[in-house]
Structure 1
Amino acid sequence: MAGDGEFERDRSYITTRITADGRDGYPVEPGRYRLIVARACPWANRAVIVRRLMGLEGVLSMGVAGPVHDERSWTFHLDPGGRDPVLGIERLQEAYFRRQPGYPRGITVPAIVDVPTGEVVTNDFERITLDLGSQWTAHQRDGAPDLYPQRWRDEIDDVADKLYRDVNNGVYQCGFATGQKAYDKAYRALWERLDWLENRLGGRRYLVGDTITEADVRLFPTLVRFDAVYHGHFKCNRQKLTELPALWAYARDLFQTPGFGDTVDFEQIKAHYYVVHSDINPTGVVPRGPDTSNWLSPHGRERFGGRPFGEGTPPAPPPSAERVPPLGHAAGERGA
């Protein structure tokens, strides 16, 4: 926290990359690595979406940490015996410590672990999704979309920077602010940007160009958590997402697109925020609402045209072990 109560995110990540040429010592190899995520976490949600869209389920396995953790780390309490079935560990912290004993920074998801050594390779969430799209091309499915097309990269980067500063991280700056001025500043920036997005999406289907791009992947996880968590729990309560016509329709459009809504578990999302953030919600009571059935209502965004996957095709349904419960159903989940 800054002196005025402003939340400051530690962005000192392990930036080693897994690349096609192995320049950092970690070459792309089917079956060698395991993507560790939590369904609750928006930053991890991005990686789950891109892995689905690229069709990498058969070459990059995925472990799912449970939604509730303590100060030491994410745990695999949803798996049999409370251990990840591939890595054999109870806490993600163990993989970080194998990379760097006593690792002093945040134990975050997403993280990619080198299975033979049990060491975390990277937890750089921004780079992970870009590299899944660009470095794993030899193993992507036929019809995998280009989420970072060369002709749109400058605009994608500009939009993504605005999203991170004011929206993706902005909701946390509201929720974790410990001073009124810090909260007011974050609240204003958040809603100025959401108004900007409402206007931008009022006449176009996607954020950049006429297909889904990295920019949409980065916005969706925040929007899908907005009414369930950020509106009340993080005090981002000027309006609900459902009260913003363009953004609400846009979010439903993506939710109903294969690879997006089928990665979302609302029960795990709520369990994480309302239980883990005991300083914000000391009772640990998890709200029953909101009703999520409206995520499947017609969105009408087809009128703007656009091709969700560009020259590509939708991904196949997720593997049975990775399917999330249907809307309105609470259930546990295991990694693949």
Structure 2
Amino acid sequence: MKVFETPTEELKRKPAAFTDRITTDGRFGRAAEPGRYRLVINRACPWAHRVVITRRLMGLEGAISLAVTDPVQEIIADDAHWVFTSETGSPGGKDPVLGIHALREAYLARDPDYTGGVSVPALVDVTTGHLATNDFGRLTLDLATEWGGPAREGAPELYPAALRDEIDALCEDIYRDVNNGVYRAGFAPDQARYDAAVTALFARLDALEERLATRRYLVGDTITEADIRLFPTLVRFDSVYHGHFKCNIRKLTEYPALWAYARDLFQTPGFGDTTHFDHIRTHYYYVHTAINPTRVIAAGPDPRGWLTEHHRAELGGAPFGAGTAPGPVPADERVPPLG
């Protein structure tokens, strides 16, 4: 479904079109080689945000370069495209490394007959200009487990083997009811399907509120893949999903444990320092003309609340376990400070 069209049926996400895996030993044909791949994202996109968080936590900024598209998609041949502009660090409207204006060019370099949608995140092979993968579900797992060589010293264990079954089960619930649930509510074609989506969303948020009332993180005593998958939806919730997607039974700020948990993560290196609220609001309110035909961009809420005390350390645990926090954000990747 194109985001500019009025929805006529329930939103259903198609599987990723290109799912090559990049691994330590190259057993699937592509090896985790520093400098070979460029990660293309949009800072408004929650699916891309989770990959950026993982890349930063693992300290892979020097191994995998980053390209940021404009928050407003460009209409080319009656379709919306992720494009590079001077406003996002691409002079002349072309990515300085890949030499392309629209991400679709990397898709077509991989498959000239491709006619499907174009999504971020996308990992592009710099040596060929071909898209390697747009599989957002697998990308974070492989960055966490298959890039150990180039990863920084002190990188956390984000997908520990002993906890994978619990993480996977929880992530499935979070994806269905929360990550994708806000979209199913926002793009619901009728009242019945909106009601079903929004009811499931808030039932899951209620369950997560109860879970997080007595534990600092979702699984175990440290940050894991589960937290990385939940955070991008939570950080966008009051800014866009509550009003723009009609997910307005409660605000995130009305959940004591969830709101404190989200602030705890936001104030942890890798989370808040990869969040760009201006891009988030601009993209959602400007692009989704079926929902917001005037393209008026909401001004709030005031993001400085994300910096208030959360007291979550009192529950124990440590964000990086036996590891350490990542270093400073590279100068060319910094997002605007709050306030």
Residue-by-residue CA offset, 1:258-301 (whole Å, 9 max, x unaligned): 01000000000000000110111000000111100010000010
Asked if structure 2 preserves the Cα contact closer than 8 Å seen for 1:49 and 1:260, the reply is yes
> Is the counterpart of residue 259 in structure 1 residue 267 in structure 2?
no
- Pair 1:148 & 2:159 matched: yes
Matching residue of 1:197: 208
> Percent identity of the aligned residues?
62
Offset at residue 27 of structure 1 (A):
1.0
1:94 aligns with 2:105: yes
**1:177-217 Cα distance to aligned partner (Å, 9 max, x none):** 11111101101110100000010001100000000000000
User: In structure 1, what is the equivalent of residue 51 of structure 2?
Assistant: 47
SS of 2:92's partner is helix
Equivalent residue in structure 2 for 1:271, among 272, 282, 285: 282
**Which segments of structure 1 move beyond 3 Å, counting only runs of 4 or more?**
none
How far did residue 317 of structure 1 move? 1.1
Q: Is the 8 A contact 1:200 1:207 kept in 2?
A: yes
Residue 241 (structure 2) aligned to one of 230, 245, 248: 230
Paired position in structure 2 for 1:307: 318
1:64 maps to: 68
Equivalent-residue separation in structure 1 for 2:239 and 2:266 (angstroms)? 15
1:59-83 C-alpha deviation (Å, 9 max, x unpaired)? 1101011111033420011221111
2:84 to 73, 76, 84: 76
- The one-letter amino acid of 1:20's match is T
- Give unpaired runs (5+ residues) of structure 2: 2-6
- CA shift, 1:105, in A, is 2.1
Match of 1:282 among 284, 287, 293: 293
Contact (CA 8 Å) 2:98, 2:129: kept in 1 or not? yes
CA drift of 1:4 comes to 7.8
Q: Distance in 2 between matches of 1:230 and 1:261?
A: 18
8 Å Cα contact 1:155/1:208 also seen in 2: yes
Residue 96 of structure 1 deviates from its aligned partner by: 0.4
In the alignment, is the contact (CA less than 8 A) between 2:237 and 2:251 conserved in 1?
yes
Within 1, Cα distance between the matches of 2:251 and 2:289? 23
Matched, 1:214 2:225: yes
Q: Structure 2 residue aligned with 1:5, among 6, 9, 27?
A: 9
Read off the aligned partner of 1:85 and give its amino acid letter.
Answer: P
Once residues 172 and 273 of structure 1 are traced to their aligned partners in structure 2, the CA distance between those partners, rounded to angstroms, is 11
SS of the equivalent of 1:62 reads strand
CA distance in 2, matches of 1:103, 1:224: 34
| Conserved? CA contact 1:6–1:183, under 8 Å | no
**Higher mean C-alpha displacement, 5-14 vs 303-312:** 5-14
Whether the aligned pair in 2 keeps the contact of 1:175 and 1:234 (CA below 8 Å) is: yes
TM-score (structure 2 length as normaliser): 0.95
TM-score, length-normalised on structure 1?
0.95
RMSD: 1.2
* Maintained 8 Å contact 1:4/1:182: no
Q: CA deviation at 1:25?
A: 1.9
